Structure 1
Amino acid sequence: MTLYFQDYSGGPNATVIEITGHPDGLLGFTRFGAIFCTDDPITEGFAESSAQIARAQGLYVTSALDGSNTHVLISIVFTNEEYKGSTLEVQGSSAQFERVREVAVVGGTGKFRLARGYATFETIHYDHTLYYAVIQCNVTVLHY
Structure 2
Amino acid sequence: MEEKKILWLALILHMITAPVYGRYYSQSVPYASPRKKVSKLHFFFHDRISGKNPTSILIARPNITGEDKSPALPFGSLFAVYDPLTVGPKPTSEIIGHAEGLYVSSSQDALTLVIYLDFGFTSGSFNGSSFSLFSRNPVTEKEREVAVVGGRGKFRMARGFAHLKTRFTNETDSGTVVECRATVVHH
Shared fold per TM-score greater than 0.5: yes
1:10–1:58 CA distance, 2 compared to 1 (3 A): same
Matched residue SS, 1:19: strand
User: Hey, what's the Cα distance between the residues in 2 that align with 1:90 and 1:61?
Assistant: 14
Give the CA deviation at 1:141.
Answer: 1.1
Residue in structure 1 matched with residue 50 of structure 2 by the alignment: 10
Q: Which amino acid aligns with 1:69?
A: T
Give the CA deviation at 1:21.
Answer: 4.6
Q: Between the two proteins, what is the percent identity of the paired residues?
A: 37
Q: How does 1:1-144 map to 2 (within 5 A)?
A: 1-21=41-61, 29-144=72-187
Q: Which amino acid aligns with 1:81?
A: G
Per-residue deviation, residues 79-99 of structure 1 (Å, max 9, x unmatched): 113212101010111112111
**Greater strand share, 1 or 2?**
1
Matched residue SS, 1:30: coil
Matched residue SS, 2:60: coil
CA RMSD of aligned residues (A): 1.9
Give the CA deviation at 1:20.
Answer: 1.4
- The 8 Å contact of residues 56 and 75 in structure 1, kept in 2 or not, is answered as yes
**Greater helix share, 1 or 2?**
2
1:109–1:29 CA distance, 2 compared to 1 (3 A): farther
Flag as ranges the 4+ runs of structure 1 deviating above 4 A.
none
Query: Number of residues paired by the alignment?
Result: 140
Question: Which ranges of structure 2 fall in alignment gaps of 5 or more residues?
Answer: 1-40, 63-70
